C-alpha cells in the first residue's frame, strides 16, 4: 500500500496533525513550532505543514523550520551521517580508512 502523507489543521488552534495515509491516528501532532513559537494563522501553519510533508521525501533536502521566522534546516548529507556514526563510536574517517587498509 502506497503512503499518502497528508495533514489537517485545527481552524481554532492552528495545530497540525500529519497522517501517513494508512493509520487513522496522526503520526505527528504539532500544536506549535518545535521550539514552542505559536502558529498565528492558518496560512502560517499550512506553510509549516507543507514543508513537514515535503521533508518526508528523501529527495527533499530540508526539515521544516524550528521556529517562527527561522529558515528551514538542511538535512545532513550522507557523508555527514557517516561521520556522525563514526564519531559516536569514537573514530574519524581517517582512522577508519587506516583500519581498513590493514
Does residue 88 have a pLDDT over 70? Answer: yes
Contacts of residue 88, defined as CB under 8 A and 6 or more positions apart, other chains included, come to: none
> What integer pLDDT is reported at residue 2 of this predicted model?
47
In terms of pLDDT, which residue wins out, 37 or 87? Answer: 37
Average pLDDT, the chain: 92
- Nearest alpha-carbon partner for 32 in 46, 47, 14: 14
- The tens digit of pLDDT for each residue in 53-84 reads 999 998 999 999 999 999 999 999 988 988 89
Cα(90)–Cα(37) distance, rounded to whole angstroms? 36
- Please report, for the chain, the start and end positions of each structural domain, with discontinuous segments joined by +: 1-71, 75-102
Cα(22)–Cα(25) distance, rounded to whole angstroms? 9
pTM across the whole model: 0.78
> What integer pLDDT is reported at residue 3 of this predicted model?
65
Amino acid at each position: 500500500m502506497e503512503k499518502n502523507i497528508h495533514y489537517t489543521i485545527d481552524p481554532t488552534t492552528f495545530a497540525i496533525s500529519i497522517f501517513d495515509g494508512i493509520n487513522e491516528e496522526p503520526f505527528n501532532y504539532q500544536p506549535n513550532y518545535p521550539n514552542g513559537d505559536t502558529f498565528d494563522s492558518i496560512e502560517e501553519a499550512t506553510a509549516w505543514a507543507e514543508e513537514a510533508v515535503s521533508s518526508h521525501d528523501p529527495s527533499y533536502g530540508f526539515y521544516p523550520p524550528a521556529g517562527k521566522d527561522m529558515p528551514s534546516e538542511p538535512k545532513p548529507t550522507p557523508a555527514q551521517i557517516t561521520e556522525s556514526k563514526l564519531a559516536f563510536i569514537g573514530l574519524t574517517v581517517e582512522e577508519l580508512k587506516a583500519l581498513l587498509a590493514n
